[in-house]
Structure 1
Amino acid sequence: MTLQEIISKIESVDSEIFEKAKERTSQLIMPPRAMGVLNDISEKLCAIASNMKPEVDRRAVFVMAGDHGIVEEGVSAFPQQVTCEMIKAFVNGIATITVLARQNNCAVVVADVGSKCKIDEKELSGKNKFIVRKVKFGTNNFTKEPAMTRDEAIQSILAGFEIASREIEKQNLNVIATGDMGIGNTTPSSAIGVVITGNRVEEMTGNGTGIPSEMLKKKIEVIKKGIELHKPNPEDGIDVLSKVGGIEIGAIAGVILAAAYHRIPVIIDGIISTAGALIAYKLCPTVLEYMFAGHKSEEPGHIKMLDYLGLKPLLQLNMRLGEGTGAVLAMHILDAAARIIKEVATFSEAGVSESKV
C-alpha cells in the first residue's frame, strides 16, 4: 500500500462504546471517577478495542535504529559506533529495554532501518527478533543538506508501518510500544519539535546523552542553522522529516500508523518517539485517538511536544534513556486500567448501596 492508502483506511475509535464505558465507570463500586486517570485510560481502551473488555496482554515494543549525519557537528557524548553495538545488545537481550520487556511479558522487535551498520539478519541471532529494512546508511548532515530526500522520508515511514503491521498480524498483538536507537537522535527530534510546535530552540533542546553546557550551546546552534537553511513546512510532516529528521523517527511514525490501522493502542516513549508521533499526527490526526504517552522524559522539549498533542504522560521517573523504556513500563498502567473496567463490579452487580448525594 501507498502511504495515502494506509492513511485513508485509518478510522476513529468507537464513540458509542466510549460512552458505554463512561457509563459503566460511573457505576463501579467506588466514588465517582475515584481512579482518576485510570478511568480515562480504561474508557479509551474500550473505544479503541470497540468492546467493553479490552485486552492488553499480547505486547511488543518496536526498537527502530538509525544513524545521523548531524553527529559530525559534535552534538553527542557518545561515538556513532554505539548504535551498532547497542543493536547487538538489544538482540542479545542484555540492554535496559529488553530487561523491562521481559518483566512485562513484552516481545522485542529490533529493526535496523537506517544505521551505518552492515549487519545481516542471518548473522545476528539472539533472544529477540532482528529485522533489517534499510532505507539508507544514516541521514545526511542537515546543516549542509536535507537529512534525506522526500522519497526516503516516505520510505522510512512505510518501513516502520510494514514491520509493525507484519508483527501485529503474526503475533496477534493487542498493544504495542515505540522505541529507538541512534546516536545523535535527540538533535533531529528537538528540531522536529521546534518546527511543529513553534517553540524556541532553546526551550526544546536538552543534554541528550549527557553533553556539557558548551556542547549544548553548539547543539542549539546546529538546530537553528538546519531550520534556517531548509525552512521546513510545519504543516507538512514529510517535509519536516526529510529536512531535519531521522530515518528511525520516520519508522516510529510508521509504527504509530500501523497501530491505528489495526485498531490497537500504541504507547509512545520519550522525545524521539514523540517526534515520530508528531510526524504521524501531521499525516493523520486520527492516530492521536490510539496514542498513550508512556512517560515524561528529562528532555525539556518532550513535555512541550506532549502538550501540543494533548497527551498526559502516565509516568514521571526522571528517565532519559529512550529505547522504549518508559513506554514499556507504562504497560503496567494500561493493564491496571483494563482490569478495572473489566473486573470491578458495579453497585448493582455487587449489591452495594450507592451514594445518596
Structure 2
Amino acid sequence: MSRPAREYDESDVRVRPSRRGSRPRTKDRPKHEDAITARVVSVDRGRWRTVVDAGTEAERAVTAMRARELGRSPIVPGDLVGLVGDVSGRDGSLARIVRINERSSFLRRSADDDDPTERPLVANVDLMVMVTAVADPEPRGGMIDRCLVAAYVAGIDALLVLTKADLRSPEEFLTTYAPLGLEHVVTRLERPEETAPDQPAGIVGLEQLRKRLTGHVSVLIGHSGVGKSTLLNALVPGTERATGVVNDVTGRGRHTSSSALAMQLPGDGGWVIDTPGVRSFGLGHVDPDELLDAFADLAALAAQCPRGCTHLEDAPDCALDALVAAGGAGTAGPARLASYRRLAIALRKNDPWQL
C-alpha cells in the first residue's frame, strides 16, 4: 500500500543566511585610543620606518604599514603618527599607522615650475638648512631663491650653509643675500697646520652649525656634491651617509643619498632630516600671489609701483628696475629681481588668469 503524498510547508525550506551584509554597517571609525606615538624616519616601498620613545631607554625602531582607513594620505619623514598592532620592534614585526598627527609644517616641492602636482618632502620641521658649495660645484643663487620661497610658504625659518670655503672665499656670494638678513654658517676643511698629527682633517664651522641645529627639527636641502652627507656624518657619528664627487665635465654632483632620512642629533639635541640631492626645486604648487611676499626685499619696493602692476620686465611704469638699480631699501640687487621675474613667469603659466 503506497503512502499518501506529503504536503510541504515553509518549515521544510531551509534558507542559508548570506554572509554579505550580515553585519550592520556603521560610519563610525575606530578611535584607536590605545595607539602610541612614533616619529617617521624613512619611507621605503610601502613601509614606514618609525622610532618609538626616542631618547629613552625604551627607544626602538618599528616598521609599519599604512592602515586602509588613511587612504592615500601622504606620510613623510618627520611625521608624528599613531601606531597599533605589533609595536615591539622585533625582527619581522609589522605595526599599522592609523593616525597622522596634526602637522606644524609641511614642506613640498614640484618636479618643475609648470607642474602643479605637489610632492611632499618632510613634515614638522621648523628650520630649512640650504647647503651650497662656494666652489666645486659652482653655487647657484636660483636654487637658494627657490628654497627661500618654499620655506616662506611653509612657514619655517631658513639657514644658509656654505661649504668648501677652503676652495674659495664666500664673501662675494654672501653679498647677494646679506641685505636679506639671511643667517649663514661657513664651513671648510681644516688646513694641515690646524690638524693634530695622525688625525684626519676636521670641519671648521661644524660646532657653530651644531649649535644652530640644537633643539630644532631641521631639513637639509642642496644639490648633489655640495657636502651634505659629509656634514651629516660629522654631526651624527655612525650615520655613514655615502659621499660622492663632482663630475669634471658637467660640474654636477652624483646622487649619493637615494631617500630622505631623519636622524636624531646626539644628546637629544633635536632632529635633522637629510633629503636626496636635487637638481631642481620646482615651485609649481606655489600660488603666484604668494611669490612676491617671499621676496621680502622686493616686496618693500613694490609698494611704490602703480596698482595692478605685474612687476614683470614689460610692465608699464614698474618702479622695481629703477629702485633696485639705485640700491633702495637695501635690496639684494638685479640678480634677485631677475630671479623673481623668472619664477613669476613660470608660475603664471599654471594660472592663465594671472597672465
TM-score range, shorter chain: 0.3 to 0.5
Larger RCO of the pair (alpha carbons < 8 Å, separation 6+): 1
- After TM superposition, the score normalised by the length of structure 1 is 0.33
Of Structure 1 and Structure 2, the greater helix share is in 1
- After TM superposition, the score normalised by the length of structure 2 is 0.33
| Greater C-alpha Rg | 2
